[in-house]
Structure 1
């Protein structure tokens, strides 16, 4: 009898279950038929070595999710880490929640499954139950149902067997209460089963998104209970109270929805709303948002707050190190990068930035070891293997660049080739290809150099360094017309970049076009007035073009930018010497010798200068002079 009366409900549940299996199978197929990869902090219970802890926690989590449906007073964008502490023993009071949840679920299921059969049997006896209301042949109380859901629109039986029409408006009958209970429990439970860690561990503790479909079943269950209770109430006052309670429930949930929508209006509000649930993750994400807004001090404070709650978060240690590095606090940044590596030895990006800081500080051997260690990290069982491969490729690129700058071209090419083999598809290879071209060019293997320069331009047609280096190669091979086009194209790509004018000026000087070269040099120095290399090279070019007055101005700028650089002082002395400003030239030669006493060129220039000054009767600062 039960199967006949509830066949449609059972078919609906079977259809729901089948679709769930199909979708879950498709998801597993797209994941490569492997369970998801996630860090230990995403699902701490899955990482627990104790069977009792795992079992009690996994049994408790459905009860915690059910409580979010019943009373969504505490919500969060993330429930990982310690947001839900592990249930480690039977003495934990949360086990009472677990017992109450499963007992309530089982009782509801029994009511739905056995109640329908019991109701079907009663319809063959004296009582006819209609949506929770009993209509008898005795002297029982019969109340008119103002909700118009108490009758099925059937004729009312009488004692003599005749039928008297029941006075009721025609209406469509609702499913039996028991069937609705079974259906709502099915919608509650079946979509949630994959998130229970029953078949495989999932990468979250609680995820509010997995409650979207179960919430439909919960709403049906609440509505069914409210309808049943309303029908059974006998007085208008009780029914009015019931209606008010239902309205109040809708209003409260509506207000919570409005409040939650404000939390989700932007990232800053969202992460602030999660601080009371998951402070470590919320503060960390808030730090990222504040950093993107340019609020560096507030971002640093947020990162430190996150580390106060959970000090071994490798990502947060790395983010703090990155912020400090961007603010040129390199020693502090290095400290946090090393802590990040200690917390997660496979964090390739931390090795990369550690190596860059060491390289810039002159610790070249330690930088090499750091880059090599990074290159040897396996890319298996990582949360983000693509980002890892990109960082490893960048480490190899920087290691090759370090070797290239120290004249080890063959070793640099070996490292660059390894980087090409390991780089992921999303890695932008233009800089790597350009550096390979430069290494081949240093080895005078011009054909191979040209190939890699063209590959660099193919990867990124607006890559300015490749235009400049390829232009230089074409100039060496005698293709001066083509070379000039690449120099001019580089300037067109970024007219504000003084380095482009500098390279073009050098090319023009080599082509015996000194006037044009001088114009490019001065333009370069004007654009990059604070760049020592640009200003210094511009001064050299102006001097080679015999524009000594202009060269003097640029040498003075260079010496002001790096007052402790002997070559800048010596060259300034030399141009002053040529321009006839002998006392000033002497002063700069002497300052250069104080910094580099054994420099033969400066000593020779100074002796020549003193000879000229003596012939002109000028006072010098030689030892023994009065």
Structure 2
């Protein structure tokens, strides 16, 4: 009886011990996943306040499929950037499910970058946990090995582009479904490793197999290389799950026992074929067009150069996974010089790389063929994860649009992390005496990587930080100089932008877009035209260069040539809104109003969020006198682009014409709160001035001066306000400041003459005006403007009683502008004083024809008549 009780107690003890172990193991699992999640969030926490940068702007901010401008159905017919995937210029990247996620996020948070960053960090943490889970539960590595691999994956700096760059959501989403597909594929099989693997496991739960294949499709619709999970599953099945059956077949056995495997492989192949067929059908069987700068090696006519360079690039990508200390958002053009001959020392790195790969393959082969070996061949699994997802980016099957892209390594890095984790476990197993030292080294390595990731996140914080980091890390890369030039151009830092565009062309003379963008900033029109023509010579399909060259020729008076170039841009792309807008502007300048309106409407139709098109359509309505319609267009422009202060300023002009000065003032103040633009300050100051609010006008200009504005027009208007308020000293100082920077400024010279005229210093005023007239002739200013200058100069000679000189200048002013009636008045007055009454009467009568109610002229005519009678009386 006592023995029976002891047996019962032992059984209960064993049961309790098993339950305790199970419970303890569950908490270990939860703890490891918590650590992975915490580390992943910790590494990327400082990325959450980042902005939309680089590709984010085109894929999210300017993508009508994301912002809701296009219908939800258009997502499935467009590429990743919102352009129809059948379009010749489409990038052909088809990721509709990623765009659906973007669109939902945009709808829920109003397009703020914060929530997009949160989603990316959450997805990365989820992928890290899933990878750790799959490593332990599917690949059957030890808990410590899976944790090491998961931690390495979570902190790896090469992932910053995918996680901190918002468009990397495509890689993260593909990674989630990639791992879920592997997980469910393994769960669909009847495998019990504790009892020993069967020769070929049955498909115990076919519904899970179907879901696994569906998840592979979902991964593919998030990003193209998600399709490679099918090949990974096939390798797992053949080389791991059904290994014993394959070995039996190799030794001469029957293949009947492998039928479950063949069925699964058939379904995998069928799924792959369907996905590939759908993809080719969507693209109309065409591949995207890339330029040489995108992937120079693929354009090399020398086969040896292509082979050597491609193989070295595989080495380079592998080094990024092991030593990710040099990272850059763009590795195009000259970042990695081509390997053009076999004597290049980089070929030694390629040889060593392949020796290592062959050693791993050999170890995998030994493990596979060994009857006594482990069921799970970790080196083979790691190689599969490393190589297979990278194949679409390898240039082996088709040309890709990049040299190196760090985000492409997101899924492939799982293989390297697993390999490192597995290698670490082998080292620890064989060197137990040095285990604390090795673990300390591993922890230090992870901390260094985490620190690099934290630092790299800051690089992705803004456009400026990203582009400046590129120049700092890869100063010999033409593309990073070009991108920084674009940022500087967009922010008005034109001098620095020009330097970087020139540096880009110095490094890579065939960069068509660098020529094009440089041309838009050059003041020398001849040099600008040369840049646009160079861009077209390099890339004859450059739409932007056609438009810019066309606009330049139009500004030079070659209207027909310019219009033809704009139409050529439309021939290349009938939906090109910039060309439509430019044609609208030229038609408006030519007063071909109906054509102008058609082009403006077409530009808006093609690009409903085209703020600039609404702005110019507003200008069209303003010139037509339709001020309310103009206000409507301007408001639409600055609603789309809330930083468009030009549209706000234009709207204020229209509101002023409608008599709504308080609204106009409020709008100008709003524009200045966004950016203190001197032109807007000037507009507000002049509005106050013309409204008789001189004190308010003065306050606006004084605030502008405090900010050290160098806008010449605004400074001159400020000077005129000071003159009107008799603050001649300040006005004089201001004008001298302008002339110190620009000695030949005609308007400043004229204002200086006004100041010295008021101060009764006509000789000084004359000197300024004569210089202004000389400059006016050199600059070929209009006749009307020159007439005004001669009239002012004549007035000063009249004040000095140098009447002959004054008469000559008034006459010249009238020859330039016959409608200048005041010149007739002054001519009449001088002839009146000189006693040449008939000539005086002639000029007085001309003035009266223009203004019959001019009392001064009438009084002068009365006096003239009296003097004529007196003169005639004396003669009599």
Q: TM-score, normalised by structure 1?
A: 0.55
| CA apart distance, 1:592 | 1.9
Alignment match of 2:373 (pick from 177, 180, 187): 177
Q: Which residue of 1 aligns with 2:681?
A: none
Instruction: Tell whether the 8 Å contact from 1:334 to 1:354 is kept in structure 2 after alignment.
Output: yes
> Which 10-residue stretch deviates more, 585-594 or 557-566?
557-566
Q: How does 1:56-135 map to 2 (within 5 A)?
A: 58=311, 65=318, 72=322, 77=327, 88=342, 95=351, 98-99=354-355, 101-103=357-359, 105-113=361-369, 115-116=370-371
Instruction: Tell whether the 8 Å contact from 2:746 to 2:772 is kept in structure 1 after alignment.
Output: yes
Instruction: Tell whether the 8 Å contact from 2:478 to 2:505 is kept in structure 1 after alignment.
Output: yes
Alignment match of 1:292 (pick from 440, 459, 464): 464
Instruction: State how far apart, in whole Å, the 2-side matches of 1:412 and 1:525 are.
Output: 44
Question: Which structure features the higher share of helix residues?
Answer: 2
If asked which structure has higher relative contact order (CA below 8 Å, sep 6+), I would say: 2
Instruction: Tell whether the 8 Å contact from 1:340 to 1:350 is kept in structure 2 after alignment.
Output: yes
Q: For 1:72-95, what per-residue CA distance to the aligned partner results, in whole angstroms no more than 9, with x for missing partners?
A: 466654796559989936997654
Any unmatched runs of 5+ in structure 1? 117-175, 231-240, 270-285, 380-388, 509-513, 617-626
Alignment match of 1:549 (pick from 701, 724, 744): 724
Alignment match of 1:367 (pick from 509, 528, 543): 528
Q: For 1:129-166, what per-residue CA distance to the aligned partner results, in whole angstroms no more than 9, with x for missing partners?
A: xxxxxxxxxxxxxxxxxxxxxxxxxxxxxxxxxxxxxx
Q: Which residue of 1 aligns with 2:397?
A: 200
Instruction: Tell whether the 8 Å contact from 2:749 to 2:768 is kept in structure 1 after alignment.
Output: yes
SS state at 1:180 partner: coil
Q: How does 1:209-228 map to 2 (within 5 A)?
A: 209=410, 211-215=412-416, 218=419
Instruction: State how far apart, in whole Å, the 2-side matches of 1:505 and 1:480 are.
Output: 9
Instruction: State how far apart, in whole Å, the 1-side matches of 2:344 and 2:796 are.
Output: 94
SS state at 1:265 partner: helix
Instruction: State how far apart, in whole Å, the 1-side matches of 2:732 and 2:299 are.
Output: 67
Q: Which residue of 2 aligns with 1:583?
A: 760
Structure 1 residues 47 and 470: alpha-carbon distance in aligned structure 2, compared to 1, 3 A threshold: closer
Instruction: Tell whether the 8 Å contact from 2:504 to 2:514 is kept in structure 1 after alignment.
Output: yes
Instruction: Tell whether the 8 Å contact from 1:177 to 1:224 is kept in structure 2 after alignment.
Output: no
| CA apart distance, 1:525 | 8.5
Structure 1 residues 607 and 527: alpha-carbon distance in aligned structure 2, compared to 1, 3 A threshold: same
Q: For 1:276-316, what per-residue CA distance to the aligned partner results, in whole angstroms no more than 9, with x for missing partners?
A: xxxxxxxxxx6x9798259x9xx59x837733xxx4x3214
Instruction: State how far apart, in whole Å, the 1-side matches of 2:532 and 2:313 are.
Output: 45
| CA apart distance, 1:404 | 3.9
Q: Which residue of 2 aligns with 1:565?
A: 745
Structure 1 residues 51 and 454: alpha-carbon distance in aligned structure 2, compared to 1, 3 A threshold: closer
Q: How does 1:598-617 map to 2 (within 5 A)?
A: 601-614=788-801
Aligned alpha-carbon RMSD (Å): 6.1
Structure 1 residues 177 and 357: alpha-carbon distance in aligned structure 2, compared to 1, 3 A threshold: same
| CA apart distance, 1:6 | 3.7
| CA apart distance, 1:98 | 4.0
Structure 1 residues 323 and 184: alpha-carbon distance in aligned structure 2, compared to 1, 3 A threshold: closer
2:499 corresponds to 1:306: no
Q: How does 1:370-519 map to 2 (within 5 A)?
A: 370-378=531-539, 392-422=542-572, 429=577, 435-454=582-601, 459-460=608-609, 465-466=615-616, 469-475=619-625, 479=626, 518-519=690-691
Structure 1 residues 334 and 37: alpha-carbon distance in aligned structure 2, compared to 1, 3 A threshold: closer
Any unmatched runs of 5+ in structure 2? 1-195, 202-236, 244-260, 660-685, 778-785, 804-876
Q: Which residue of 2 aligns with 1:337?
A: 501
| CA apart distance, 1:260 | 1.5
| CA apart distance, 1:593 | 0.3
Instruction: State how far apart, in whole Å, the 2-side matches of 1:415 and 1:604 are.
Output: 44
Instruction: State how far apart, in whole Å, the 2-side matches of 1:36 and 1:483 are.
Output: 41
| CA apart distance, 1:591 | 0.8
Instruction: State how far apart, in whole Å, the 1-side matches of 2:634 and 2:359 are.
Output: 79
Q: For 1:17-66, what per-residue CA distance to the aligned partner results, in whole angstroms no more than 9, with x for missing partners?
A: 8898778765794686759968689696996947499479849958995x
| CA apart distance, 1:471 | 3.6
Alignment match of 2:383 (pick from 179, 184, 188): 188
| CA apart distance, 1:489 | 9.2
| CA apart distance, 1:354 | 2.3
Instruction: Tell whether the 8 Å contact from 2:292 to 2:299 is kept in structure 1 after alignment.
Output: no
Q: Which residue of 1 aligns with 2:828?
A: none
Q: Which residue of 1 aligns with 2:479?
A: 315
| CA apart distance, 1:265 | 2.0
Q: TM-score, normalised by structure 2?
A: 0.42
Instruction: State how far apart, in whole Å, the 2-side matches of 1:189 and 1:314 are.
Output: 35
SS state at 1:583 partner: coil
Structure 1 residues 45 and 33: alpha-carbon distance in aligned structure 2, compared to 1, 3 A threshold: closer
Instruction: Tell whether the 8 Å contact from 1:559 to 1:565 is kept in structure 2 after alignment.
Output: no
Instruction: State how far apart, in whole Å, the 2-side matches of 1:45 and 1:416 are.
Output: 32
Instruction: Tell whether the 8 Å contact from 2:723 to 2:731 is kept in structure 1 after alignment.
Output: no
